[in-house]
A and B are shown apart, each in its own frame.
Chain A
Amino acid sequence: MAPPIVSIRDLSKLYRQGDINVTALNAVSLDIELGEFIVLMGPSGSGKSTLLHIIAGIDRPTHGSCRVQDTDVARLNESQLADWRNRNVGFVFQSFNLIPVLTAFENVELPLLLTGLKASRRRQQVTTALHLVGLIDRQHHLPRQLSGGQEQRVAIARALVTDPPLIVADEPTGNLDAKSATDVLEILRSLSQQAGKTVIMVTHDPKAAAYGTRQLHLEKGEIVA
């Protein structure tokens, strides 16, 4: 059997809020296999988002290790982390975070600017990604000319465009209506099932959670189920 893509050992995260120490994660250990669609659930403050952020390399643990493929994310410095994110992680936000002044096409192209690819090759990859989310006909639209669901699909295309092994989504359906949410979830599922991507998603919504291949519940910084 192939080694797990994500391997978390004894991971803790403490931070201070005013005068009190808060334990966001408490000695969490977890293996995630290639192609899994993991859903992280739990009440607010349970540590699910923190876990997601650490796996995605935008937050750092206080203790423990988080290996993604063969890299211990916690040991990278700021600059290495930036490169690592660009190559390995596609991020989907709750509030889309598209750059308002760029068209859908340009938004998707943005991460490719870091790769040194030629313009023609970039164009090809952006087109592929937009095809995948079914928005090739809206490529010249600005974010404000798109619906919320369309914006989120552009954001998914942006997450895909560098072909990262890991797709990380933080409440991707939180700002969407039911129909759009289904579209987005379908895309995420097909990414894991057909494209072999590992998807990790945080959500509150049990209907969304049903799309995952494995559901993990967090409470008070620990995985409870």
Chain B
Amino acid sequence: MPAVFTLLVQSFLGLTALGIVAVFLTAHFSAVPVKYNLKSVFIRWRSTVATVVGIALVVLVYVLLQSLAVGIEKSNASTGDPRNILIARKGATAESSSLVTRAQLRTLQYFEEIERNAAGDPVISADVLTLASLPRKGQGGEANVLLRGVTPRGMELRPQVHLVAGRWFSPGRREIVVSRKLAGRFANFDVGDTFKTGPTTLTVVGWLDGSGSAYDSECWMDADESRSVFEREMYSTFLVRPKSPEAATNLIRRIESDKRLQLRAESETGYYQKQTLTAAPIKWLAGFLALTMSIGAVFAAMNTMYAAVGARTREIGTLRVLGFHRRNVIATFLLEGILLAMLGGALGCLISLKWNGYTTATLSVESFSETVFSFTITPTLAAQGMFFAAALGFWGTLLPAVRAARLPVISALKAL
């Protein structure tokens, strides 16, 4: 059923694209009085403005919503190092719900696929992830924040994360470094502030920046400190660096096939790219709104264009008497409709740019914690918006244009 639906949607979009290309080709290779159209458009400026602004708003809603989904996806996609392997409990859907044991850590340390550092130790970081419900700034209520207990090795494995204010935490002390982007959203997150989680008071000693990755939604503290604060026997995940890509493949196979370990391994980047649950409903909403709003917009555009055809009956007849073909007339009106709609689309995209890069946050369905991301308007998204506008113009104008072309030539001679 969904496959059929997707196919339908795709063929519909394909048809629309073909139609639009056909209009532009006709306009390019045969005579269409483009100037005439452009001028007519401005004569009826009131309804023109209404149509253009209407389409601009439809495109704006679509582009902004999609830019949220794109922002979430981009933050996930730019997280991690492709050389790293993330190891979690089999069945766990998120790092924070994974549990791995010290026994597993000891086993892994002897795997020869894993890189050794100068001191000869395997490059493994055992992280501890916990959620802390903390108050937002102002009247925002409370939200979960992902706290990562991290080892020095874990910090080396994540060069994306760097300090932008204060200093790193010192082991053995109840200190924490929070993301600068979270600091803008939560109370008591300035350097030097303290906050309570459960019975423990933590001191913020620095701000980190994750370079646009998912780490921008985390707070970091020492792994052992975190285990003691939150009374955790176990770790959450392991992050390891294999010696080579071949070693990485072998390592994944070895871990997955070892029934005793009950672990799952995959590349760190791959793991984050699979986190699509949060963006999915936003995309769904964008699609639903695009569909319903465009139905309304097409009806309204049709109304405007029918009126335009009605008002220009004699002009159309005159064009036909002068020897313009039906296809010229159709192309004329379609071109007018599409260009108008694209003007609206461009306006919508331009307005949406105002939000580009603006940071916002929502609940990540995977990590069950506040995830910050930015409205991200990519060229692809803008192109989608423009195509969407052109499609609105095309479908809103098609029937009126056909009607215009079917007007009898003699109508030129009849006064209105």
Check whether chain A touches chain B (CB < 8 angstroms). yes
Residues of A within 8 A of B (CB): 49, 53, 56, 58-59, 78-79, 82-87, 91, 93-95, 97, 99-102, 106, 110-111, 113-114, 158, 162, 170
Cβ of B249 under 8 Å from chain A: no
Return the contact of B323 from the options A59, A82, A94, A170 (Cβ within 8 A): A82
- Complex CA–CA separation, A203 to B270 (angstroms): 83
The residue of chain B having its C-beta at the shortest distance from the C-beta of A93 within the complex is B413
Q: Tell whether A102 pairs with B321 under 8 Å between CB atoms, given A53-B410, A95-B415.
A: no
Contacts of A78 in B (CB 8 A): 325-326
- Near A by CB (< 8 A), chain B positions 330-351 give none
Question: Closest CB-CB distance, A121 to chain B, in whole Å?
Answer: 15
Q: Sample 7 A-B pairs with CB under 8 A, ordered by A number.
A: A56-B321, A58-B410, A78-B326, A85-B321, A93-B413, A95-B415, A101-B36
Q: Tell whether A113 pairs with B412 under 8 Å between CB atoms, given A83-B323, A91-B322, A100-B43.
A: no
Q: Tell whether A110 pairs with B314 under 8 Å between CB atoms, given A82-B324, A85-B321, A97-B412.
A: no
Interface size on B, residues (CB 8 A): 29
Question: Closest CB-CB distance, B150 to chain A, in whole Å?
Answer: 69
Q: Mark B305-320, 1 if CB is under 8 A from A, else 0.
A: 0000000001101111
Q: Tell whether A87 pairs with B323 under 8 Å between CB atoms, given A97-B314, A99-B318.
A: yes
Question: Closest CB-CB distance, A104 to chain B, in whole Å?
Answer: 14
Q: Tell whether A91 pairs with B39 under 8 Å between CB atoms, given A59-B410, A99-B315.
A: no
Cβ of B361 under 8 Å from chain A: no
Interface centre among A58, A102, A162 (most CB of B within 10 A): A58
- Complex CA–CA separation, A82 to B328 (angstroms): 10
Q: Tell whether A85 pairs with B326 under 8 Å between CB atoms, given A110-B36, A114-B31.
A: no
The residue of chain B having its C-beta at the shortest distance from the C-beta of A88 within the complex is B323
Question: Closest CB-CB distance, B407 to chain A, in whole Å?
Answer: 12
Return the contact of B322 from the options A53, A101, A158 (Cβ within 8 A): A158
- Complex CA–CA separation, A58 to B327 (angstroms): 17
Cβ of B409 under 8 Å from chain A: yes
Q: Tell whether A114 pairs with B318 under 8 Å between CB atoms, given A58-B409, A93-B412.
A: no
